[in-house]
Chain A
């Protein structure tokens, strides 16, 4: 991790407050965006998740110090993300893919 001297910590504290501001703005944007009605449900979901992901990234990178962190943590998180995506995507795909002659809806 990068140095923990007093100056670096003071700089980091300024960064924390900036990120706090960004997160509040992000929250307000999320709520306001929810009042806009898109025709495509996919677009609505996509936008909501995009804003949430951006906010989450700021929390992870700055509050959780991920931006300074080592490769080993990134590897663990990378594999976790892949497996989470696998669980989600394959489960949804399985519920949608039906055999040729199925009476199920």
Chain B
């Protein structure tokens, strides 16, 4: 005896079991990410004046990632439609593309993370604050490339203004964009030092947590879809309808992952 309505719809609800199951699960995921978004808003609204940074994330890279995920959403629904049209080869193609897009997203995200973890932020004893990429580190000094310098008391929220001022100064000298030279800082002159990780401030804390949890969902979803592309696709021969349902259900999860990113991108990168 098998549990009914795993493949065929139950007449009065019009649903098969896994479909209502996945929507219920997605409802709980809405609450999960919703709680994180609410935390983001609370932390930003209650942050001290000048302590909430903006324009720290690379918008072009984020845009590329957004487009990659949207593309993967299209390919996964095309994969399901291909199955409904009995075209198993097309399904393999689209499902494979989806997994590739997911991998690209994770790779780009890892690059972004590494970029932040190697970005150092020091407060000097003379009250100035310098941040930049770590080029070299010894027992006596560090060298930061593309450094930005501004008074520490202004807070990290001052950075966009500092960049604008530096650009204007560079234009006045006829240089175009400012590209300051590598800056060598003696360790003895450093009062406080951190890297741009979740420990640096609450903006980074919520950024890494939000994108990290999202990335875990991307990886999880990619694993499921890779399984259905590979060994799981054997079910197509035995029970094609149930297999199509599984692709639809896992596709729904994947679309949700895309949905979350559609909100994450403007909130974290643009606002």
Contact = CB atoms under 8 A, between A and B. Distances in A.
Q: Do A and B touch each other in the complex, judged by CB within 8 A?
A: yes
Contacts of B271: 34, 44-45, 48
A70 B27 contact: no
Interface residues of B, number: 44
Which secondary structure characterizes the binding site on chain A?
A: helix
Interface in A52-85: 52, 55-56, 59-60, 63-64, 70, 72-73, 76-77, 80-81, 83-84
Contacts of B59: 31, 34
Contacts of A13: 78, 81
Which interface class (under 10, 10 to 19, 20 to 34, 35 or more) fits A?
35 or more
B31 interface: yes
Contacts of B30: 77, 80-81, 84
A64 B263 contact: no
B1 interface: no
Given A16-B77, A87-B35, A96-B45, A31 B20 contact: no
7 closest A-B pairs by CB:
A84-B34, A34-B270, A88-B38, A48-B266, A80-B27, A20-B74, A70-B14
30 contacts: A1-B14, A9-B85, A13-B78, A16-B77, A20-B71, A20-B74, A24-B70, A27-B70, A30-B266, A31-B270, A34-B266, A34-B270, A48-B266, A48-B271, A56-B259, A59-B259, A63-B74, A63-B255, A63-B258, A72-B15, A72-B20, A73-B20, A77-B30, A80-B27, A88-B37, A88-B38, A91-B42, A92-B41, A92-B42, A95-B45
